A and B are shown apart, each in its own frame.
Chain A
Amino acid sequence: DAGITQSPRHKVTETGTPVTLRCHQTENHRYMYWYRQDPGHGLRLIHYSYGVKDTDKGEVSDGYSVSRSKTEDFLLTLESATSSQTSVYFCAISESTASGGQETQYFGPGTRLLVL
């Protein structure tokens, strides 16, 4: 999984509690992404980061926040978990090209989250 770890790998939590998922990379890649995967929807981008402290919203960002204080770590926080946030969460990384664009995205192993 291209030097990407996600923690925890599995989590069960209750509605209304905050949850933080961690993505850690050892590749020193500039770009990091958080996706959620749900049946019938493929993968949908939640938030992404284009550098330390530089983040932007994706397609399904409501109810989620992110932080990136170091190149290697990208945190996803569910501020008050709801049952609709039960999903599999994937982190991805990519590097910048010489022309300033992005190369292939590499995905982590995922975190399976169940909100009761």
Chain B
Amino acid sequence: QQQVKQSPQSLIVQKGGISIINCAYENTAFDYFPWYQQFPGKGPALLIAIRPDVSEKKEGRFTISFNKSAKQFSLHIMDSQPGDSATYFCAASEGETSGSRLTFGEGTQLTVNP
């Protein structure tokens, strides 16, 4: 049972373009939504995270948009660069004291062409 659904599976963007990856969740108790970036042969690394008390969070070229009523959140990468080519995972967890059991989306393989 996949509680976090991620789309698209793969995405190709030109350098300088905007990359958008979407996630939808089912569990309304989720209250922490991180995005992880993974390069080939490496472990995932936290990119940016949001809690549902805000609708948007921006860090440099990376922005999370959060829609609580629709149970959706998305990652926007502005001015995409070839170095952003990686696999991106959204995730969600429930409650700070619940063991931080992250539920991950299926992943999106992003390719940014020069």
* A interface residue numbers (CB < 8 A to B): 1, 4, 31, 40-45, 48, 50, 56, 58-59, 90, 92, 94, 97, 99-102, 104-110
Which of A42, A97, A110 has a CB less than 8 Å from the CB of B106? A42
- Min CB distance A22 to B, Å, is 15
B6 lies within 8 A of A56 (CB): no
Interface residues on B, range: 20 to 34
Overall SS of chain B's interface: loop
A42 lies within 8 A of B105 (CB): yes
Given contacts A50-B99, A102-B100, contact A40 B106 (CB under 8 A): yes
- How many angstroms between the C-alpha atoms of A1 and B38 in the bound complex? 12
Given contacts A42-B104, A90-B43, A90-B44, contact A104 B97 (CB under 8 A): no
- Min CB distance A34 to B, Å, is 12
- How many angstroms between the C-alpha atoms of A40 and B104 in the bound complex? 11
- By a CB distance below 8 angstroms, the chain B residues around A59 are 103
- By a CB distance below 8 angstroms, the chain B residues around A94 are 100
